[in-house]
Amino acid sequence: MNGRRAARSLVSGALLTLAALSAARAEDAFDRPAGAHFSPQKLERIGDYFRDQIANGKIPGAVLLISQHGKPVYHRFFGVQDAVSNKPMTDETIFRIFSMTKPITSVAAMMLIDEGRLKLDDPVAKYIPSFAKLKVGVERKAENGEKALDLVPVDRPITVFDLMTQTSGITYGFYGGSMVRKAYAGARIYDGDFDNAEFAERIAKLPLQEQPGTLWDYGHSTDILGRIIEIVSGKSLLQFEKEKLLDPLGMTDTAFYVTDPAKQKRIALPAPADHDFRVGFESSADVAMKWESGGGGMVTTLADFARFSQMLLNGGSLDGRQYLSPKTFEMMATDHIGPNSGVQRDYFYFPGDGFGFGLGLGVRTDPGNAKPSPPGSLGELKWDGASGCYFVVDRKQDMFFVLLEQTPSERQKIQPTVKRMIYEAMEN
């Protein structure tokens, strides 16, 4: 045991030294010249980091793929998929990806736009009439000194564009303390076995957090987008995505639930003490429901999501098949909420420092205000989810990476650390 503690202490000491060196060099990691390549020796530091996280009980395991120029440059599996079975991680281990579902749903919607069956400026009420009755919740102080909520008309209707840029005013009820968010939390919108149609009607009964197009506000917008996809296509969200996107890409393990008993044995689970994903409701990947949450309900594997990421890196195509037209892809990959857009940002601006937001993805627009700047490239695309799953598409470096893990409590530390190590391993 003493030897094991000593080894762990040496690893921790080495990581502290690495962290100090990383801080000194991090500024050089931002927006490297195109053509940078990876040092295999420096990449191995990532393995040391994950092994330390596992040894200290922070996570059961993780998988990471870094691909550049269409080939893997780092492809590693760490730890186990769950603490009970102790099965090792593989390319086929199934992960709940939560909000990393949003880019998939957004691509599916853009495919309908490419086909001329959906338009970005379409009012949501064109497809879901109850959304024509929406009101905005405005807080005021009542005569008795307590807060009161007034419901005022919308300045303009919510559009598909608002849904895709998270500027609809539709919010989540599991963070923040505003009266509208508390109304979401108290409305029991997750009760029972409901489908996308019923969920949209439940959301339509709630007030908007703010006027459409005025603030980036993370919420159920992409769930409503998923319902519109169903209405336009005449199919369930999964049926449409499988037909048009998932099956053609070869994403055979990507779905909303895992119903096959054989596949259920491949589901990754968080550490027993780290099971609260803090998304407002409890659910399991292996318990099928009618709800197919386009905003956060999917499961996937590393093998599957790598295909999706490569398609985005290629600008909307893979293996000779065009999923998005060049024009449509550039619309997705362009920041739509920056200066002169009229969209404000507040404390809950989750794209983060240096990022704008495209259509379903964060888009790197500048180095940001932090000193030193977080690593990356201008034009970088990214998103993550409540379970810690995270992906980055760096078109400048012809590179993407996919990190899959199940750790709601450690993700905000692990994600930036791994990204920094990846970019520090690049050499000009």
Tens digits of residue pLDDT in 299-344: 999 999 999 999 999 999 999 999 999 999 999 999 999 999 999 9
Last residue of a domain, one of 202, 233, 264: 233
Q: What value does the mean pLDDT take over residues 106-121? A: 98
| pLDDT tier for residue 376 given thresholds of 50, 70 and 90 | very high
Round to whole Å and give the CA distance between 385 and 293.
Answer: 13
Round to whole Å and give the CA distance between 185 and 219.
Answer: 12
Last residue of a domain, one of 209, 233, 257: 233
The answer, yes or no, to whether residue 186 has pLDDT greater than 80, is yes
| pLDDT tier for residue 28 given thresholds of 50, 70 and 90 | low
Q: Does 85 map to a domain?
A: yes
| Same domain as 209, residue 283 | no
| Same domain as 391, residue 287 | yes
**Could you read off the pLDDT of 268-308 as tens digits, one per residue?**
999 988 777 777 777 889 999 999 999 999 999 999 999 99
Q: Does 265 map to a domain?
A: yes
Question: What's the domain count of the chain?
Answer: 2
Greater confidence (29 vs 2) lies with 29
| Same domain as 342, residue 390 | yes
Q: Does 106 map to a domain?
A: no
| Same domain as 125, residue 42 | no
Q: Which residue segment(s) compose the domain that 173 sits in?
A: 111-233
The answer, yes or no, to whether residue 13 has pLDDT greater than 60, is no
Q: What is the pLDDT of residue 246?
A: 98
Facing residues of 68 across strands?
Answer: 71, 399
Last residue of a domain, one of 198, 217, 233: 233
| Same domain as 182, residue 76 | no
Q: Does 87 map to a domain?
A: yes
| Same domain as 384, residue 356 | yes
Q: What is the pLDDT of residue 212?
A: 98
Q: What is the pLDDT of residue 29?
A: 81
Quote the radius of gyration of the chain (alpha carbons, Å). Answer: 22
Cβ-based neighbours of 58, under 8 Å, separated by 6 or more:
271, 407, 410, 414
Q: What is the pLDDT of residue 143?
A: 84
The answer, yes or no, to whether residue 15 has pLDDT greater than 50, is no
Q: Express as a percent the part of the chain with pLDDT over 70.
A: 93
> Of 271, 307, 291, 292, which Cα lies nearest the Cα of 387?
271
| Same domain as 260, residue 395 | yes
> Of 8, 9, 86, 3, which Cα lies nearest the Cα of 271?
86
Q: Does 193 map to a domain?
A: yes
Q: Does 418 map to a domain?
A: yes
> Of 230, 253, 248, which Cα lies nearest the Cα of 316?
248
Round to whole Å and give the CA distance between 202 and 131.
Answer: 10
Q: Does 50 map to a domain?
A: yes
| Same domain as 212, residue 88 | no
Q: Classify the phi-psi angles of 396: left when phi > 0, otherwise alpha if psi is within -120 to 50, otherwise beta.
A: alpha
| pLDDT tier for residue 97 given thresholds of 50, 70 and 90 | very high
Q: What value does the mean pLDDT take over residues 148-170? A: 97
| Same domain as 273, residue 185 | no
CB 386 within 8 A of CB 53: no
> Of 71, 25, 60, which Cα lies nearest the Cα of 45?
25
pTM: 0.93
CB 262 within 8 A of CB 192: no
Q: What value does the mean pLDDT take over residues 347-352? A: 96
CATH number at residue 146: 3.40.710.10
E strands of 183-264, at which residues?
none
Facing residues of 149 across strands?
Answer: 139
| pLDDT tier for residue 26 given thresholds of 50, 70 and 90 | very low
| Same domain as 219, residue 189 | yes
Q: What is the pLDDT of residue 273?
A: 84
What are the two backbone dihedrals, phi and then psi, of residue 123, each rounded to the nearest 5 degrees? -65, 140
The answer, yes or no, to whether residue 151 has pLDDT greater than 50, is yes
Q: Does 54 map to a domain?
A: yes
**Could you read off the pLDDT of 58-71 as tens digits, one per residue?**
999 999 999 999 99
Q: What value does the mean pLDDT take over residues 72-79? A: 98
**Could you read off the pLDDT of 224-249 as tens digits, one per residue?**
999 999 999 999 999 999 999 999 99
Greater confidence (134 vs 84) lies with 134
CB 306 within 8 A of CB 65: yes
The answer, yes or no, to whether residue 108 has pLDDT greater than 90, is yes
| Same domain as 215, residue 244 | no
| Same domain as 359, residue 335 | yes
Give rounded-to-5 percent helix, strand, coil for the chain: 35, 20, 45
